[in-house]
Amino acid sequence: MYTRIRSTGHYVPERVLTNQDFERMVTTSDEWIRARTGIERRHIVSPGETNLDLCEKAARSALGAAGLGAEDLDLILVATTTPNQVFPNMGVLLQDRLGGHGYPCTSLESACAGFIYGLAIANSLIQTSQCRRALVVGGETLSRITDYTDRSTCILFGDGAGAVILEAASEPGIIATHLHADGAYKDLLYYPSGISLGFDRLRESRDFIRMKGGEVFRVAVNTLSQLALETLEAAGVTSTDLSWFVPHQANLRIIQSIAHKLGLPMERIVLTIADHGNTSTASIPMALDVAVRDGRIQRGQLLLFEAFGGGFTWGSALVRY
């Protein structure tokens, strides 16, 4: 029993923040932001718009592309760091929105690597015949936890959701997944508040994403380069066998550094960071859907997904689309 990606979908909010907008908000410039990150604009939810709204639209896009409905699913996994509420979990909330009933649904939190973690879990459940068709969604509203007076972080993050439909297949689609984590780096990129820390703190102060950018950059480049080589070597392929590299869209310089280490030309890398910014765990499924729908990614091509996020967590997936 194998797993293949049957369809993809994504959605971004209509509201856009450009680099020129940030020039009026903090001390920065369009030229500096482009040079340091590769970002030109990012989509931001409007008041009253939630992560669940984004996930629903991305999921409906993927279901529509497959000609399926919620009743055709056996599993929903939603990867996110910004759920609508503590419980019910985002998977349950999305199932209700879509009109599904009865099958298992849950959400998971692995920061920017969450979609890869979700892909690996769904693949395992399909391969062990515990389900035949799964919806895996990565969705974020990072604008809700971003400090728009902190120029080192506010320029980076955007909102959006991406989705894939996975299903059982007779030939390998998801060839391999590799997952890692190391809590020793927990203080380099994190959000400081949580329910168990106490409601008084949440009431009295509003916390935001905190990041030591230079240290995150160095660890991310080294870790993701090693992970890519590990993934390719384990599958018995090389970077020249790849049709497309679809990385987490965190920072253009990180992506360029990894491409250089792998000997990959930028022409074979799917980039959406200029238009979306860093959407955390939503970025890979969003970039995948963009490239599928514009015709770059075709059936039978070999793809490498890779992501690195706070925790630190990181993961990869080698996929025959």
Q: Let me know if 248 is a catalytic residue.
A: yes
Q: Give the active site residue among 10, 178, 248, 276.
A: 248
pLDDT at 141: 98
**For a pLDDT cut of 90, what percent of the chain falls above it?**
88
> CA 12 to CA 277: how far, in whole Å?
11
Q: Which residue has the higher pLDDT, 1 or 132?
A: 132
Q: Let me know if 89 is a catalytic residue.
A: no
Q: What is the pLDDT of residues 237-254, one digit of tens each?
A: 999 999 999 999 999 999
pLDDT at 200: 64
Q: What is the pLDDT of residues 151-201, one digit of tens each?
A: 999 999 999 999 999 999 999 999 999 999 999 999 999 888 888 877 665
Start-to-end C-alpha separation, the chain: 16
Q: Give the active site residue among 55, 105, 112, 154.
A: 112
Helix ranges restricted to H, the chain? 19-23, 30-37, 51-66, 90-98, 114-127, 199-204, 213-235, 252-262, 273-276, 283-293
**Mean pLDDT, the chain, integer:** 95
Q: Which CATH class is domain 176-320?
A: alpha beta
Structure tokens at 246: 């679809």
pTM for this entry: 0.96
Is residue 64 scored above 90 in pLDDT?
Answer: yes
Return the CATH number of 2-170, one of 3.40.47.10, 3.40.50.300, 3.30.420.40, 3.40.50.2000: 3.40.47.10
Helix ranges restricted to H, 160-251? 199-204, 213-235
Q: Let me know if 131 is a catalytic residue.
A: no
Domain boundaries, the chain: 2-170, 176-320
Q: What is the pLDDT of residues 128-143, one digit of tens each?
A: 999 999 999 999 999 9
Q: Give the active site residue among 19, 51, 89, 278.
A: 278
Across the strands, what pairs with 174? Answer: 319
Q: What phi and psi values does residue 83 have, to the nearest 5 degrees?
A: -70, 160
